[in-house]
Chain A
C-alpha cells in the first residue's frame, strides 16, 4: 500500500498566484481530510469529505480557499489568490469510514511558501 500521496511536496510561488495541492487517498478509504500546520496555530482541520461530499468546511479560512473531490481517488485544495500568510505545510489524510473510531492516515504533506 502506497499510503496517502500528496503532490507537490514543495511549492514556492509568488503572492497573487493560484496554487493547487493534490491528494490521492488510500484505496478503499471513504473519508478525506485536509489540514494546515503552522508554527503559530499548530495543526488545524480545513475541510473533510465523506464519499466525495464535503461534510464540514468550517475550517476553511476564507473564500480564497476551495477544495474538491471529483472522485474517490483524488482531491485538490486550491488557493486563489495566494498570500504570504498562507505559507504552511498542508496535509491530506484519509480514513476507512470517517467515523470517530477510525484512524486517520496522513500523507507526507506539501510545504507551501508564498513570497
Chain B
C-alpha cells in the first residue's frame, strides 16, 4: 500500500527566505505527483503536477522536483511571502487509477 510522508509537519520562516518542503512515497510505480495548497477552511488548489517521466515543473516562485526511483519530491518556494502561509500537500497517483494518495501536509507560516 502506498504511503506518503511529508516532512516537516510544520515550518515557520521569516519573509524573504527560500524554503524546501519534502514529500516521500514508498511505491515508486506512480503515474504522477501533484502538489496542492490548502488555506484554512477552504479546499485544495493545485499548484504543480509532475508526470512520472518528468524531473521538475516550475510555476512562478515555485519549483517542484521528482525523483521517482528514490521515492522523493521537493517543493521549492523562492523569496517566501506572508501570502504563502498555508498547508501544502503532495499526492501521488498510481497507474490507471484515480485513487490519489495524499500526505498529511506541511503547515507553512511566513512571518512578515
Contacts and interface: CB of A to CB of B under 8 A. Distances in A.
Interface in A58-113: 58-59, 91, 93, 98, 100-101, 103-109, 111
Given A43-B89, A106-B44, A108-B43, A59 B103 contact: no
B51 A101 contact: yes
Given A45-B99, A56-B98, A100-B31, A106 B51 contact: no
Contacts of B89: 43
A103 B51 CA distance: 12
A108 B96 contact: no
Contacts of B70: none
A103 B49 contact: yes
Contact of B98 (A43, A55, A91): A55
A4 interface: yes
A104 B99 contact: no
B1 interface: no
Contacts, number: 55
B86 to A, nearest CB: 13
B32 A4 contact: no
Contacts of A107: 43
Interface string B61-94: 0000000000000000000000000000101010
Contacts of A58: 99
B96 A100 contact: yes
Contacts of A105: 46
A100 B43 contact: no
A101 B95 CA distance: 11
A84 to B, nearest CB: 21
A4 B98 contact: no
Contacts of B45: 106
Contacts of B93: 100
A33 B93 CA distance: 14
B7 interface: no
Given A43-B102, A101-B49, 6 more contacts: A56-B98, A100-B95, A101-B51, A104-B100, A106-B43, A111-B41
